[in-house]
Structure formats: C-alpha cells, structure tokens
Amino acid sequence: MRVGVVDIGTNSTRLLIADVASDGALTQLHRESNVTRLGDRVDTTGRLRDEAMQRVYDVLARFRVLLDEHGATASTAVLTSAVRDAANGAAFSAQIRARFGLDARVIGGDEEAALTFAGATSERPHDGRQLLVVDIGGGSTEFVVGTDGAVAFHVSTQAGVVRQTERHLHDDPPRRGMIEELADEVATIVDTHVPRAIRDGVSTAIAVAGTATSCAAIELALEPYDPARVHGHVLRRATCERILDRLARLTNDERRDVTGLHPDRAPTIIAGVAMLLAVLDAFDLDAIEVCEHDILRGAALRLAAADAWTAH
C-alpha cells in the first residue's frame, strides 16, 4: 500500500511517501525536509508562535498536494516535542486535521522513541548486539536501546538543538564557555535519565535526524546533499570535535555558507554537534553510524500494518 507520513517536529517539518509491501519492505517514493522552527521560543513562552505555525501551514499545503499526486491511500502526521510542550498545541493539531485532512496526532516521548527505533533498525541484521539509537531533535532527544529489533530501554529527554541554543548560546559566534555549559547540561540530563548499566552495555550506536546527517554531509563536503552517501556513514569523535571547533569560530551568516550544511540549520548546528559529542562521551563511544531511516520510516511501517489489520 502507498502511505504518507508527515513529521512535525520542533525544528523541521518532513514528509515521506512510500510503498510498503505486505512483508514490510519499504520503497521510498518521495522524501523531503523543511526547517520551519515551530519550537521557536516555546521553551520560554510555553506557546507556539503565530509566525511559526504559519510556516508549518505553508509547508503542509504543498505536502497535501504531493500526497494527492502520489495517490497515498493512508496518511498521518506525528507531532512531537514543541507541540507536546505548548499550551496551544492541541488547537494547532486540530487545525492541521481540519485544514489538511491529515490524521494529526501528538505523540508522547515514549512512542516517539519506539517509532524511531523501529525505523532505524528495520533493515538491520539481527546480530545479538545491544544497539543505541539516538535522535537529537529540536526540543527533545530520544535514547532507545535494544537488541535484534526489540526495545529494552527507552527515554525521551528535554534536550534539543532549539531548546539548548535558546538556553545557552547567546553570542554569535558563541563563546567557548557557553558551549561548555550546554554540553555539561546535556551530560547531566543523560546521566540522570539513562542508567549507567544501560550505557555500559551499548557497543554500537546509530544517530538519526538533522544533526548527525549534517555532520556527515559536512565531513563529506556534499553539495548537493546525497542521502545515499550519508546513510551508513560513520562519524568519529575526532571528526565531530573538528567540526564543532570550525563551526564555533563562524558567525551564523558564515555558517550558512559551509558546504554540506543546509543554511536553515546554521542557527542550531553548534548546539547539535556539542550534544552529539556529549552523547558519545556519556556512552564512552568513539564513533556513531549515521542513519537516514528514522521516525518517518517507523511511522510509515506502523501505518501500513494498522491499515492492513483494519482491512482484515
């Protein structure tokens, strides 16, 4: 069946249209991401701003056309951290359902983590190793640990590139002390929410979402972006340190011109790389694999399975 999934996150609004076979094999037909900054200032105001919501509406109008043109028979929208945290999040979700005909649902952090793990591991072989999937988002970061597709531990934390940028990085470029304070806060969050025994058991890690894919694209100097080269690319700690040092010396306008970095990610990429390094430190890892398969894929697989179950 042909499904469409929209992921409305704190920093970006994304679309996946795919054919899903009865055995779960997924063929991607269209995928795109737009930085819409829905979570702009939610951490301080507790509300979604009108301008931010309009940016999402503008993107969804185009996504609706694409869904219809591709003949998607089932479609859904998952809304995550910014909408969960905002006092007007429910009203925003209702508007999406009414205006764009999407089954828009605000999902909790636990469900977000489970869908991300399902998407990231859907094509990986079962080798018995304990695997970490980390999703550094705009307003939250999910840590999911499991073996052979089965989740053993998952937690959603209040750490994200938009949230941490607004809290810590007040200069342009930011001072080193600001970045260190950000990293210390993230280290404390991980230490508080992910038990030491869980961290010690992880031997392999996968990173999904914009921070990791941007780091891979920067290292590979990709222009234009090439998901086939990014998927499976291994980021080493030393590489992330070099990228952070380079980006932290540049102003926001200068970062917009960095090869491999989408200009709209320039305001939050420093926080993202600092967070990724804090995660590597917390799990005592020297490298992490970048994965293009994430919550979009997990939600598409679940949507297809649910529709098939209903049909029976």
| Arithmetic mean of pLDDT over the chain | 92
Clarify whether residues 272 and 166 are in a common domain: yes
pLDDT reported for residue 13: 95
- Please, which pLDDT band fits residue 138 given cuts at 50, 70 and 90? confident
The beta-strand segments (E) located in the chain are 2-8, 12-20, 26-35, 74-79, 103-106, 130-136, 141-147, 150-157, 204-208, 234-236, 287-290
Tens digit of each residue's pLDDT (9 = 90 or more) over 139-178: 889 999 998 888 899 998 989 999 999 999 999 999 999 9
Residue 200 pLDDT greater than 60, yes or no: yes
Q: Which residue do the tokens 């764009």 mark? A: 100
Tens digit of each residue's pLDDT (9 = 90 or more) over 62-103: 999 999 999 999 999 999 878 988 999 999 999 999 999 999
Tell whether 295 is covered by a domain: no
Clarify whether residues 104 and 238 are in a common domain: no
Specify the pTM. 0.85
CATH code of 91's domain: 3.30.420.40
Clarify whether residues 31 and 169 are in a common domain: no
Clarify whether residues 186 and 251 are in a common domain: yes
Domain boundary, last residue among 110, 134, 163: 110
Please answer whether residues 160 and 138 qualify as being in contact, where contact means their C-beta atoms are separated by less than 8 angstroms.
yes
Domain boundary, last residue among 84, 110, 136: 110
Tell whether 185 is covered by a domain: yes
Clarify whether residues 184 and 251 are in a common domain: yes
Clarify whether residues 81 and 146 are in a common domain: no
Tell whether 46 is covered by a domain: yes
Clarify whether residues 130 and 105 are in a common domain: no
Q: Which residue do the tokens 């380079």 mark? A: 246
Clarify whether residues 187 and 158 are in a common domain: yes
- Please, which pLDDT band fits residue 307 given cuts at 50, 70 and 90? low
Half-sphere exposure of 167 (CA within 13 A, CB side): 20
Tokens of residue 264, six digits: 């709209």
pLDDT reported for residue 22: 86
Indicate the helix (H) or strand (E) that contains 91: helix 89-100
Clarify whether residues 135 and 273 are in a common domain: yes
Clarify whether residues 51 and 135 are in a common domain: no
- Look up the domain containing 84 and give its range: 2-110
The beta-strand segments (E) located in 21-116 are 26-35, 74-79, 103-106
Tell whether 297 is covered by a domain: no
Clarify whether residues 144 and 97 are in a common domain: no
Clarify whether residues 70 and 150 are in a common domain: no
Give the Cα separation of 104 and 101 in Å (integer): 9
12-16, 54-58, 78-82, 243-247: least confident range: 78-82
Domain boundary, last residue among 110, 140, 156: 110
pLDDT reported for residue 111: 85
- What is the percent of the chain where pLDDT is above 90? 75
Give the Cα separation of 12 and 6 in Å (integer): 10
Backbone dihedral region for residue 172 (phi beyond 0: left; psi -120 to 50: alpha; all else: beta)? beta
CATH code of 243's domain: 3.30.420.150
pLDDT reported for residue 110: 79
Number of structural domains the chain divides into: 2
Tell whether 178 is covered by a domain: yes
Residue 308 pLDDT greater than 50, yes or no: no
How large is the average pLDDT for residues 41-50?
90
Please answer whether residues 161 and 278 qualify as being in contact, where contact means their C-beta atoms are separated by less than 8 angstroms.
no
Give the Cα separation of 245 and 227 in Å (integer): 25
